[in-house]
Structures are given as C-alpha cells and as structure tokens.
C-alpha cells in the first residue's frame, strides 16, 4: 500500500466517523429536521440550490466559508451563535469528496505532511469547546475577521502580491516548527468561522514549498481537521442540521459536477465579485457592531 492509498483510506475513515455521528444525530432529531425541511418547501429549495452552487464554486477555490457566512447572515438562515459550527459541519462531506477526487499523488516529505496535518487536527479538536462558550458579539467579531481575511487573500491574489512558493519538497528546522504551530492555530480558527485553506496555502507558499507539493498539505489539513472539529460541534448541538444535510447531499452534487463534468472554470471575474460582496458584508458587520457599542455607551 502506497502513501497515497494510506492517506485516502484515512480520509474515508475520519470523514466516515463524522458521517456516522451526523446520521445518528439526524435520526435522534428526525421530527425537528423533517419539520424544518417541509414547513417552508420554497425556502428549502432555495437553500438546496445555494448549497449546490456554493460547493460547485468551492471546488474551484472560491471559499465556501466566506460565501456561506454572507448568505447565512443576509437571509438569517442560521443563528449567529451557530454559524461557526455550521460552516464546519456543512463542508465535511463535500471537502472529503474533493480530497478523494484530487489527491492522486503525494510528492511531499512525510514529516512535513504529518506535522502540518496533525497540527490542524489538534487545533480543530480543542477549538469547539471554547467557541460554544462565546457570546454572540464575540462570534460576530471573529466572523468579521474571517470575512476580511477571505476578501484580503482574494485581492492579494488578484493584484499579484500573493506568495508564489518555491521549489522545496519539505520543510526543516525552524520553518517546519513554525508551519506546525501555525497549522494548529489555523485548525482552531476554522472553528470560529475563519477558513484554514487559504491561510495554509499562503503559509506553505511563503515558507518556500513548491505549489504542487503544497496541495496535499492544504487539502489534507482541511479534510482531516474539519471533521474532527465538526464532531465536537455536533456533540455540543451547535450547528444547523438542516443546512448540513442539504450541503452533504445537494452540495455534494455540486462538487461532483465540478470535478467530473465542468472540470475547468474561469473564475477570474467571479473572484472580483465575491471579494466585493465579502468585503461589503464585513464592513456592514463592523458598522453593526460599532452601532451596538455606541448604543451601549449612550
């Protein structure tokens, strides 16, 4: 069995563990879930379409965390306190399918790969127990930071200031230690709604890894850490079952269409639009928090 086969098997096992826990939770709350699905079928259809489009675009690198955050808050589909948990749980199955479809070769030093993935998993496991105790204003602040980071990284890429990477196949010494520590931080940040994928990509590029060999670290970190954190959110009942069910089914269809039918999509123009929408949402949230703070002072 090659390293690729081991990684793919672990993807199935870790994400399968989340799927089993999620299905059990759905069965336990089947009455509630059924009511949510059918009390407003028009709303459910719209949510299903959005789920498919969101993860279709996510397959081409448009952040599902950022898109979902804007949509959830704009249409009030998810309570602010449940947004971090929902952002994590909704993407577990779609991201696992992306990983299985795209991780076909691993050309990166094993120590680098394992330490970066392990760091994210540890961070993802620790994070939820703190997130569920946060008040709504604190969560809003983290959401705002996440939106600003997402829009900033998109704009950096568009203006050519994004790190381009190097030629290294692995990291050593201080660089490896830094990557492992930052991976832990990124895994924890996932749990407050700040996506780790782009941050991981920027970090490994900046540290000199070849862009091609950096991919397994980015995808591996997400597909192993997100389900670990998501299982904690399910345990703490801090997520939307309905949204997660729709993304795990209709969202999955969006991924499969992107991977096996469309395959290539020019998202250059769309990235400008997404960056503008995300930035607008961040500024609006900052204004909302500032207004609320001013009201409390007065």
> Beta partners for 209?
168
Find the angle CA(114)-CA(146)-CA(173) to the nearest 5 degrees: 30
Residue 226 has pLDDT above 80, yes or no: yes
Which pLDDT tens digit goes with each residue over 93-151? Answer: 999 998 888 776 667 788 898 899 899 999 988 888 888 888 888 988 998 988 898 88
- What's the whole-model pTM score? 0.86
Nearest to 235 by CA among 47, 28, 95, 37: 28
Burial group, residue 295, by CB count within 10 angstroms (0-12, 13-18, 19+): exposed
| Residue 245, domain extent | 3-297
Q: Per DSSP, which regions of 94-142 are E strands? A: none
Residue 298 has pLDDT above 60, yes or no: no
Percent of the chain exceeding pLDDT 70 equals 96
> In the numeric block, which tokens belong to residue 290?
């500032």
Which pLDDT tens digit goes with each residue over 153-202? Answer: 888 888 888 777 788 888 999 999 999 999 999 988 888 888 887 788 88
Torsion of CA 84, 89, 93, 94, to 10 degrees: -30
Average pLDDT taken over every residue of the chain: 88
Side-chain-facing half-sphere of 38: CA atoms under 13 Å: 6
Nearest to 242 by CA among 80, 39, 65: 39
Q: What is the pLDDT of residue 63?
A: 84
What phi and psi, each to the nearest 5 degrees, are found at residue 40? -145, 85
Percent of the chain exceeding pLDDT 90 equals 48
DSSP state, residue 258: I
Residue 37 has pLDDT above 90, yes or no: yes
Compare 76 and 199 and report the one with higher pLDDT.
76
Burial 157-182 (b: 16+ CB within 10 A, else e): beeeebbebeebebbeeebbeebbeb
Query: For residue 247, how far is the Cα from the chain centroid?
Result: 13
Query: What would the DSSP string read from start to end of 185-242?
Result: HHHHHHTTT--HHHHHHHHHHHTTB-HHHHHHHHHHHHHHHHHHHHHHHHHTT-S-HH
Into how many domains does the chain fold? Answer: 1
Under the banding of pLDDT at 50, 70 and 90, the label for residue 296 is: low
Q: What is the pLDDT of residue 295?
A: 61
Task: Note whether 240 and 78 are within 8 A (CB).
Answer: yes
Residue with tokens 């290539």: 264
Q: Mean pLDDT throughout 269-286?
A: 89
Q: What is the pLDDT of residue 106?
A: 64
């Amino acid at each position: 069995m090659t390293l690729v086969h081991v990684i793919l098997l672990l993807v199935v096992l870790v994400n399968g563990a989340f799927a089993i826990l999620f299905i059990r939770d759905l069965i336990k709350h089947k009455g509630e879930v059924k009511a949510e699905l059918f009390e407003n079928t028009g709303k459910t259809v719209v949510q299903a379409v959005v789920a498919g489009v969101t993860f279709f675009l996510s397959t081409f690198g448009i952040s599902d965390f950022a898109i979902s955050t804007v949509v959830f808050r704009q249409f009030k589909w998810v309570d602010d306190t449940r947004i971090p948990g929902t952002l994590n749980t909704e993407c577990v199955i779609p991201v696992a399918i992306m990983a299985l479809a795209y991780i076909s070769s691993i050309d990166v030093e094993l120590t680098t790969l394992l330490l970066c993935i392990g760091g994210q998993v540890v961070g993802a496991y620790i994070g939820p127990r703190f997130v569920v105790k946060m008040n709504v204003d604190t969560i809003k602040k983290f959401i705002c930071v996440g939106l600003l980071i997402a829009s900033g990284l998109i704009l950096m890429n568009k203006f050519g200031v994004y790190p381009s990477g190097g030629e290294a196949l692995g990291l050593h010494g201080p660089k490896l230690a830094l990557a492992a520590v930052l991976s832990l931080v990124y895994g924890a940040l996932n749990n407050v709604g700040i996506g780790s994928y782009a941050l991981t990509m920027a970090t490994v590029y900046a540290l000199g890894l070849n862009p091609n060999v950096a991919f397994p670290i980015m995808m591996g970190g997400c597909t192993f850490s997100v389900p670990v954190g998501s299982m904690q959110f399910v345990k703490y009942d801090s997520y939307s079952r309905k949204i997660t069910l729709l993304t795990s089914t209709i969202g999955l269809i969006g991924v499969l269409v992107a991977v096996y039918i469309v395959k290539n999509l020019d998202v250059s123009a769309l990235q400008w639009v997404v960056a503008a929408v995300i930035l607008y949402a961040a500024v609006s949230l900052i204004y909302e928090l500032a207004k609320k703070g001013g009201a409390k002072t007065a």
